[in-house]
Structure 1
Amino acid sequence: MSRENIKADLCIIGAGAAGLVTAAGAAMLGRKVVLFEAREMGGDCLNYGCVPSKAILAAAHAAHTVRSAAKLGVKAGEPAIDLPAVMAHVRDAIDAIEPNDSQERFEGLGVRIIREWARFTSQDTVESDSVVVKAKRFVIASGTRARIPHLTGLSDIPYLTNETIWQLDTLPRHLFILGGGPIGCELGQAFARLGAKVTILEANRLLGQFEPEHVETVRSALLADGIRIIEGWGVERFERADDAITITMPDGEAIDASHVLVAAGREPVFDTLGLEAAGVEAGVTGIRCDDRLRTANKRIYAAGDIAGKGALTHLAGWHGSVILRNLYYGVPTKQSSNPIPGCVYTSPGLAQIGLTEKRARDAQGDKVSVIAWPFHDNDRAIAEGDTAGGVKLVLGKGGKILGVHVAGARADDIGALAAVTMAKGGSVRDLTSPVLAYPTRGEAIKRAAGKHFEPVVFGPFAKAWAALLSAMH
């Protein structure tokens, strides 16, 4: 069978956030764009990650609100959980968002969509079963998949991943989660609040990329939800017997589970891409590329999770913007030029942007100062009866904002205040300037920033100056 030959300005492999942002922008600029996607349009985020996980968390948090309403004087009792209805809500959320990422929309923008696997056959050519594409530039945005560790017996059991867990139609009796990162903690809390017994095993430290004191806030909530957390341990072996799975720990303890979810990190997807023919190098973290996302073959870029710069949907979208700026606007842009927030959507949640305190002190030593403001001293949190967590600012010389960290309700939205300021290169002084509505949790950031200036604003010199002005008037 002969294949169609296509010449394009830009050829993209992967229709996740990075690929779609790049494709849409290039097409709207009048470029001829070809986009390959053999699986689902929208990639991992829409179909298996961000969207379904937040949808099931919404149901789980609603159940928790019913259970805990008595503390506010509202007695509701134990909620009835209908898991098929919950999963229908998850699918409805995906279906509602899907048109934004659909083949029809992108074809309407002028993008040629090829729903096939693609591979490089030379440094400027990509082929699939039905087409051969020669292009001036390429973007590899093939993403990542769940990393399956080599553990005895794991391949012999019907384990779940973030892709397959959405197929459940009955609540797990006991969900054993391998991995205590954001995916493990979010899905662990979701299923615990929906009524399942949950155990989370983390080989290192729970949510190890976040501020330790803020992680303790989340840990307390997970424990209160009845989740067992095991840290600093591996697994000796997995065994299957009838409908049960036995997890044997190094100390000999046998844990009986009905389901196992593997959430032990991600691995890049490039094994079918023919990278050697393209002159592109890759490693365990992804495709090797510079800060402008260019690979060893300067006509080929990497974007999103596969670029090894982080695994976040909004980062992938930013990568698409970086490539468009460099290729079609003549604006040299580095992917590291914008601070990228990271969030965990448990309840309470976590948000961080910039450096942790440890990383800042390792880099700048005693030039670093830290200011915190707890939610138990925030009027909105007190009124809501939810005072867990708080805000932490990590500051450098001259009040430069090195990092902002939030733990607590609506942490993700509160962190956005800092993201705007940091993106503009602002200092801690800029966090004190806005007039914020009262009462809001966002005030905690302003209060923390104001606390940084208290020694100056209310110090000896300020008092002497106030006394002088008072005497003069």
Structure 2
Amino acid sequence: MKKLLTLAAIAVVATAFFMLDLHHWLTLEGLKSGLSQFEHWRTQSPLLTAGSFFLLYILVTALSLPGAAIMTLAGGALFGLWQGVLLVSFASTIGATLAFLVSRYLLRDWVQSRFGARLDAINRGIERDGALYLFTLRLVPAFPFFLINLLMGLTPIKARTFYWVSQVGMLAGTLVYVNAGTQVAQLEALAGILSPELLTSFALLGLFPLLAKKVMGLIQRRRVYARWQKPARFDRNLIVIGAGAGGLVSAYIAAAVKAKVTLIEAHKMGGDCLNYGCVPSKALIKSARMAQQMRQAERYGLNATEPGFSFRTLMSRIHEVISQVAPHDSIERYTELGVDVLQGHARLIDPWTVEVRVHDGQIQRLTARSIILATGASPAVPPLPGLDETGYVTSDTLWETFAKRDTPPQHLVVLGGGPIGCELAQSFGRLGSKVTQVVHGARLMPREDEEVSTLVQTALQDEGVHVLTEHTALRTERRDGRNYLICRDREQEVRLEFDELLIAVGRKPRLSGYGLETLGIETDHTVTTNAYLETLYPNIYAVGDVAGPYQFTHTAAHQAWYAAVNALFGQFKRFRADYNVIPWTTFTAPEVARVGLNEQEAIERGIAHEVTRYGLDDLDRAITESERTGFVKVLTEPGKDRILGACIVGEHAGELLAEFVLAMKYGLGLNKILGTIHTYPTWAEANKYAAGEWKKAHAPKVAMKWLARYHAWRRG
């Protein structure tokens, strides 16, 4: 209501301005005809006239009324150059700031909520360089200043920044106009003030801040490298440290474009994903799923049976799977591709030199024009007292530790409620372990919508996993030959017995031991990089888990393209890493897959959205497979089919998500998905039916009524 009243008040003042023909006085002819009267007022009451002029200028500018240029001329005509400049400079800046604040108050929330997803890049740019952009615009009078005021009000730029930048930036144009006002009698039109030569000068002046920024960037780069001696020549075009997904893709791209590249890995080729994460965990999930299907065989008209298996054989299969995938990431393959692969520990000596302690004990030093850090991450382990005594495993170490067991852990406690903890808790529960999952927060998978977390938690609990939310781990103890995890809930301490404790509370980037401290490369949980994935040193890049903001194999590979191309060809063109469409999947049963915004994030960020939902219990293929749990949920712009995000919970959710990822990447809406033929009966039809639900909700009701009448008429 307050906003409506404010808008109404502005509309009344603006209407009165035109209805009373006041705009006539803010034309060049009006100024000339009334100049003698204005001078009489100034002679009689100089302070009152100056004050009235000052307030009127603020009002005209604040309400974005036409005539600010004429009033600037009047400032010169009435008060002379210096007093006119003083009055106009402050009045115009105060008025512009008021217009900026009015725009922000009335429109910013609405604009950001409706178009927030598309404005993210602009908002980030304004937060980073808003003062520079505003200063550039203010220096060029050809830009409509009132429009700048209103548009800047819709951005995150601070009001005080807007004020002082406007004060300084408009000064040059104010001087020109006020000076022209001192000769107003000779002016025939406003166009006479800004000659082509003067406009060109202003345009060049407007380019100055941008050029200055480039020059300052070059100076800062030189300053960063000042204490280092740059090699006269380089051994390599690129050195990549770490042979996980980010490092492998970086090296592959470099070799593909015939650059000389060295890839250094201290441990196993393929990194965490191949050896400890994606590959072994999915092999485990498959075995666990088969065991669960045997127990639930009655759902498919078969006799249910309790699966019998050798846990040692099952773990051997997982290691066999790793060995079958390993050739894709092997030294031999990358050597054939043209990559020089070294196995050893790498350390930065200076911005171009890497020292490699090879496994045979030798030390090599290599130089390269560019270096990419792809050192990955390792499981985070909280400093719980007693861990050294009771022992524990992580998602990295369990594969070797459990391979020595003849049976699954009898009592497994999983500490952590994220994707890794949920996947492993469910899998070992299906393999016969008595699993207790301890979660510090109020629910599992807190980054997902609450209904998603609830559905996953229900699925785990139905299969026998004991989920304890809002439990804080305090310590571990060993008593009478037994291990215990001590937690605290809201009221008391809880003692949980275990024979294996799996810690899955997240992963921390590998930052130490690579010489980052020596070079002064900034870290804050991850290596600090800019939009181009450059560190403090523009020739040193970081990708993957060590750089963030996502810890996914496919994101590391995605970043690797940007880093490799920028490292090798950045002198011609640099590319900002694009995170607009990042998908991910949690491989529980049911699977959880999502891309873009979910409902929780949209609400937190105040982004206007509509939710369309299709339940898989209605899908023919889901019915035939007795897998009816889950749904497809799509967020769209209000009244439009543009996709803001999608979340799929259910069988094959990770595969189904790809259609929405493609649609979002290339700007295809739900109408396009609805108009695409999907094979019957497939799981992919769920996406089409979700699009159909959106179409049904947005069918034109009035047109439908007229169509009904038309068909009735046709029937006679």
Q: Judge same fold: TM > 0.5, yes or no.
A: yes
Match of 2:548 among 308, 311, 314: 308
1:81 maps to which residue? Answer: 309
Q: Is the 8 A contact 1:211 1:405 kept in 2?
A: no
Q: Secondary structure at the match of 2:394?
A: coil
Q: Structure 1 residue 229: deviation in Å?
A: 0.4
Q: Distance in 1 between matches of 2:275 and 2:479?
A: 32
Structure 2: which 5+ runs fail to align? 1-232, 358-362
AA at the equivalent of 1:228? H
Match of 1:255 among 496, 504, 507: 496
Q: Is the 8 A contact 1:174 1:258 kept in 2?
A: yes
Q: Structure 1 residue 243: deviation in Å?
A: 4.8
Q: Distance in 2 between matches of 1:253 and 1:132?
A: 54
In 2 relative to 1, CA 228–136 (structure 1 residues): closer, same or farther, beyond 3 Å? Answer: same
Q: Secondary structure at the match of 1:184?
A: helix
Q: Structure 1 residue 83: deviation in Å?
A: 0.6
- Of structures 1 and 2, the one with the larger relative CO (CA 8 A, separation 6+) is 1
Specify which structure has the higher proportion of strand: 1
Correspondence list, 1:36-115, <5 A? 36-115=264-343
Match of 2:609 among 340, 358, 368: 368
Q: Secondary structure at the match of 2:663?
A: helix
Q: Secondary structure at the match of 1:264?
A: coil
Specify which structure has the higher proportion of helix: 2
Q: Secondary structure at the match of 1:132?
A: strand
* Percentage of pairs with the same residue: 34
Q: Structure 1 residue 180: deviation in Å?
A: 1.0
AA at the equivalent of 1:230? L
C-alpha distance after superposition, 1:11-65 (max 9, x if no partner): 1110000000010110111101011101000000000000000001100000000
Q: Is the 8 A contact 2:234 2:369 kept in 1?
A: no
Match of 2:694 among 452, 465, 468: 452
Q: Structure 1 residue 427: deviation in Å?
A: 2.1
Q: Is the 8 A contact 1:360 1:402 kept in 2?
A: no
RMSD over aligned Cα atoms? 1.9
In 2 relative to 1, CA 292–12 (structure 1 residues): closer, same or farther, beyond 3 Å? Answer: same
Q: Distance in 1 between matches of 2:573 and 2:649?
A: 36
Q: Distance in 2 between matches of 1:454 and 1:368?
A: 17
Correspondence list, 1:36-435, <5 A? 36-129=264-357, 130-167=363-400, 168=402, 169=405, 170-204=407-441, 205-241=443-479, 243-250=481-488, 251-284=492-525, 286-328=526-568, 332-365=574-607, 367-397=608-638, 398-435=640-677
Q: TM-score, normalised by structure 2?
A: 0.63
Q: Distance in 1 between matches of 2:409 and 2:333?
A: 38
Q: Distance in 1 between matches of 2:430 and 2:515?
A: 44
Q: Is the 8 A contact 2:237 2:568 kept in 1?
A: no
Aligned length: 467
AA at the equivalent of 2:472? G
2:72 maps to which residue? Answer: none
Q: Which moved more, 1:425-434 or 1:123-132?
A: 425-434
C-alpha distance after superposition, 1:100-132 (max 9, x if no partner): 100111111121111111111112211122211
Q: Is the 8 A contact 2:633 2:690 kept in 1?
A: yes
Q: Which moved more, 1:355-364 or 1:116-125?
A: 355-364
Structure 1: which 5+ runs fail to align? none
Larger Rg: 2
Q: Which moved more, 1:237-246 or 1:47-56?
A: 237-246
AA at the equivalent of 1:126? V
AA at the equivalent of 1:217? L
C-alpha distance after superposition, 1:200-220 (max 9, x if no partner): 111113111112112222111
Q: Structure 1 residue 157: deviation in Å?
A: 2.2
Q: Distance in 2 between matches of 1:361 and 1:136?
A: 45
Q: Distance in 2 between matches of 1:193 and 1:305?
A: 30
In 2 relative to 1, CA 71–434 (structure 1 residues): closer, same or farther, beyond 3 Å? Answer: same
Q: TM-score, normalised by structure 1?
A: 0.94
Q: Structure 1 residue 371: deviation in Å?
A: 0.8
